[in-house]
Chain A
Amino acid sequence: GAGVSQSPSNKVTEKGKDVELRCDPISGHTALYWYRQSLGQGLEFLIYFQGNSAPDKSGLPSDRFSAERTGGSVSTLTIQRTQQEDSAVYLCASSPGRFNYGYTFGSGTRLTVV
């Protein structure tokens, strides 16, 4: 696609429910990243994919968080048993090639856990 697409743009969920966030990177971009941005805060790294593999999962805050990428394209970030502290904007970015220059961000998914 022309840009990085994320869906849904907004998600309100009840505490304890599972949510899935989707990222569709720019066509041909092999690298994909997930970040979390709390209100007024910086970007917190969650996970990095190169192709379908995740060489760096170090940022996932707990075992309730998982992510996968299939076909070297679309990625889903799953949060199980959501907690109120999971409320944030979840941003996805992609970059071309193996050397990871020039990240392009999606518009994010605003997750609110009530």
Chain B
Amino acid sequence: GENVEQHPSTLSVQEGDSAVIKCTYSDSASNYFPWYKQELGKRPQLIIDIRSNVGEKKDQRIAVTLNKTAKHFSLHITETQPEDSAVYFCAAIEANAGKSTFGDGTTLTVKP
């Protein structure tokens, strides 16, 4: 089965700095890679996603890159703000089969 490793488990940055979270996956059948933000006690919210036919996608301060050959993908947040503080989860999904594996999460703290 699929195995997703997410690093780091915790990340603390100063407001305005960039944050990078990395995930690796093992199953080449995975072809969809979403990132979710989960604030304490709230539901996971999709913040950005990428499909396997694309190498990079950007949405304002958030970007995701995918390296299919190396089987890793990364979330980049620029100009971080305190409201970016949350737990971020990556996932590797085999879209047509509904198979999903989530990383263990990264707790991001942005210090004002």
Contacts and interface: CB of A to CB of B under 8 A. Distances in A.
Interface of A: 31, 33, 35, 41-45, 48, 50, 55-56, 58, 91, 98-108
Interface string B1-41: 10000000000000000000000000000001010100000
A101 B42 contact: no
B97 A45 contact: no
B46 A56 contact: no
B53 interface: no
A105 B93 contact: no
A21 to B, nearest CB: 15
Contacts of B103: 42
Contacts of A41: 104-105
A50 B98 CA distance: 8
Nearest to A48: B98
A108 B103 CA distance: 19
Interface string B91-108: 101011111111111000
Given A41-B104, A42-B89, A98 B43 contact: no
A45 B101 contact: yes
A101 B34 CA distance: 9
A33 to B, nearest CB: 7
Contact of B43 (A48, A56, A105): A105
Given A43-B89, A43-B102, A45-B101, A99 B96 contact: yes
B76 interface: no
A105 B44 contact: yes
- Max count, chain A CB within 10 A of own CB: residue among B32, B36, B95, B98: B98
B44 A43 contact: yes
Contacts of B45: 105
Contact of A100 (B46, B93, B104, B105): B93
